[in-house]
């Protein structure tokens, strides 16, 4: 019996195109190069999703508390609920996989490896280490897309063993997507890469996990909807959920939570 993957693939592809920063890159029709303003807001949106757990998983809003929106069960099942069993020194190291398809021309393959480790000072949490790797293959409905995603974060208390309200985050975030999709009878390419290095991000949990300081560097390039781009730059976090983005010689102030220019 054949399955209809059309809606699933459209939804998944839509998530990927948004998640990897491509959803708005077709707005500027006057040039083949994606507008750095648009790229900057997409970068901000992707970074926000990764830091605040909008795509599930780790969120700086949880601080050093147990993650509130992911737990892995046996036999490849993923159940979204609260995790309650992490103690000092404990570690979660697990793999999730999911396959659905009738053939090599109609399939969805997802593989994810998730690590989470807790360290303590004076029997109180002082840091957590998060490593999250995702590989996804989507084929069907005229699309053939491969996506990869990696997150490696260390979140530390600035007052270890006493308080977890003021935190520091360091780490890397990488995302890649490659493939083709069809619009009518036309096959179009898509490729994108986003790489971040986060240094000394200061997080105030008393102010809605506001990032009050720290910097990041980024590099991104790709092709989508006839647009190409190849940019690198820096991000300086200002507090009040704002940051300045320096890209292609221009500086923009963006609300990290909304991804919109200020």
The reported pTM is 0.81
199 lies in a domain? yes
Instruction: Locate 222 and state its tokens.
Output: 């790709």
Lowest-pLDDT range of 8-12, 81-85, 131-135, 236-240: 8-12
Give residue 68's pLDDT.
65
| DSSP code string of 59-75 | -GGGTTSPPSS-EE-ST
**Contact at 8 Å (CB) between 209 and 60?**
yes
92 lies in a domain? no
Pairing of strands 163-183, 143-159: antiparallel
Nearest to 228 by CA among 29, 26, 6, 34: 34
82 lies in a domain? no
pLDDT category at 102 given cuts 50, 70, 90 is: low
DSSP assignment letter at 2? -
71 lies in a domain? no
**Contact at 8 Å (CB) between 21 and 42?**
yes
Pairing of strands 227-239, 106-121: unpaired
33 lies in a domain? yes
Domains contained in the chain, number: 1
90 lies in a domain? no
113 lies in a domain? no
Does the pLDDT at position 17 exceed 50? no
Q: Phi and psi of 230, rounded to 5°?
A: -155, 90
Range of the domain at 156: 6-64+118-129+148-261
Does the pLDDT at position 241 exceed 80? yes
Does the pLDDT at position 80 exceed 60? no
Q: Which helix (H) or strand (E) holds 77?
A: none
Mean per-residue pLDDT for 62-67? 82
User: Using CA atoms, how far apart are residues 246 and 252, in angstroms rounded to an integer?
Assistant: 7
88 lies in a domain? no
Select, from the ranges 23-27, 44-48, 196-200, the one with the highest average predicted confidence (pLDDT): 196-200
Report the chain's mean pLDDT, rounded to a whole number. Answer: 78
Does the pLDDT at position 81 exceed 50? no
Does the pLDDT at position 55 exceed 70? no
Q: What is the pLDDT of residues 190-228, one digit of tens each?
A: 888 889 999 999 999 999 999 999 999 999 888 877 788
């Amino acid at each position: 019996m054949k399955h209809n993957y059309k809606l699933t693939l459209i939804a998944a592809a839509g998530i990927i195109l948004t998640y990897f920063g491509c959803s708005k890159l077709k707005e500027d029709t006057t040039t083949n190069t994606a507008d750095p303003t648009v790229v900057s807001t997409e970068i901000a949106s992707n970074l926000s999703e990764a830091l605040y757990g909008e795509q599930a998983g780790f969120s700086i809003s949880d601080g050093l508390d147990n993650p509130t929106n992911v737990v892995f069960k046996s036999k490849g099942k993923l159940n979204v609920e609260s995790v309650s069993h992490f103690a000092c020194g404990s570690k979660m190291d697990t793999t999730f996989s999911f396959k659905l398809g009738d053939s090599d021309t109609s399939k969805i393959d997802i593989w994810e490896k998730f690590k989470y480790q807790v360290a303590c000072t004076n029997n109180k949490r002082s840091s957590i280490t998060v490593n999250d790797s995702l590989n996804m293959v989507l084929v069907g409905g005229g699309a053939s897309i491969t996506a990869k995603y990696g997150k490696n974060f260390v979140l530390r208390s600035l007052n270890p063993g006493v308080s977890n309200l003021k935190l520091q985050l360091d780490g890397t975030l990488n995302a890649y997507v490659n493939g083709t999709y069809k619009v009518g009878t036309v096959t179009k390419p898509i490729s994108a890469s986003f790489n971040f290095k986060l240094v000394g991000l200061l997080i105030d949990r008393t102010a809605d996990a506001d990032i009050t300081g720290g910097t990041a560097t980024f590099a991104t390039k790709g092709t989508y909807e006839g647009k190409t781009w190849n940019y690198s730059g820096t991000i300086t976090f200002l507090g009040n959920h704002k940051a300045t983005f320096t890209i292609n010689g221009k500086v923009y102030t963006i609300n990290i939570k909304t991804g919109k220019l200020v």
